[in-house]
Amino acid sequence: MTPQVAIHGTVISTYTRIVQIACEEAGLSHQTIATPAHSLDNRHPFGKVPVVEIDGLELFESVSIAQYIDNAHNSGALQPANAAQRAVMDRWIAVANNYLFPLFEHGLVMPHIMHNYAGMPLDTAKIDKHLPNIAKTLSFLDLEMQKDGAWTACGFTLADVFLYCILRSVESTPQGAAGIARLQVLPHWLMSCRTRPSIAATAWPGEAELTQG
């Protein structure tokens, strides 16, 4: 059977997984075609991933892709109908993409990926430089959840999908796992997300071992 969605992206990727989860939530069959960012096979105009083929469309940019999948195939179930709650969801997705991902990815996650998968020496100087800001940011997220539930006050939405995938990458590093474990609410939210079928079904290959090394 031909999958309903073709996802062109790297296999272990925050944004590829976001699209995979959106597909799972909508009950869409999907296939990930391994496509490195900036490769000749990548059709994203700015060399990012993923690029998605669905319903005769070729889509890029994960927010647009996830919203299309949810709207066209899931009756908008991952987006609040209430305008104020939708604004909260949109705000947290923007925070995740514009602030959290660049900090966590470049300051912690990518050095471990380059060490574990490319065999490069672990750039401990870069990690040590960014750890104070990473710890401060994780504490901010935890306090927001303690104060008013933050994005979770809207129920399980696309904000959870984006934030989970970004924070799971952090949790998959030794420093990130240790930092998150010291918080009050964030570890429980991550654990509850992991029980959701769409998230369990899209676990990265070897995800349980990613904290090693």
Closest alpha carbon to 114 in 173, 180, 39: 173
Bridge partners, residue 9, by sequence: 34
pLDDT on residue 212: 39
Across the chain, mean pLDDT equals 93
Helix (H, G, I), strand (E, B) or coil at 8: strand
Write the burial class of residue 69 (CB in 10 Å: 0-12 exposed, 13-18 middle, 19+ buried): buried
Side-chain-side CA neighbours of 102 within 13 Å: the count stands at 5
CA–CA gap between residue 30 and residue 35 (Å, rounded): 15
| pLDDT surpassing 50 at residue 171 | yes
Indicate the length of the chain as a whole number. 213
Domains and CATH numbers, the chain: 5-73 (3.40.30.10), 83-199 (1.20.1050.10)
pLDDT value of position 49? 86
pTM: 0.94
Q: Judging by DSSP bridges, how do beta strands 30-34 and 5-9 pair with one another?
A: parallel
Summarize pLDDT for 65-112 with one digit per residue, the tens.
999 999 999 999 999 999 999 999 999 999 999 999 999 999 999 999
Q: What is the band of 182 on the pLDDT scale with cuts at 50, 70, 90?
A: very high
Measured distance CA(44)–CA(42) in Å, rounded: 6
For the segment 149-164, the average pLDDT, to the nearest whole number, is 97
Q: Residue 198 — φ and ψ, nearest 5°?
A: -65, -35
Q: Which tokens go with 25?
A: 């939530």
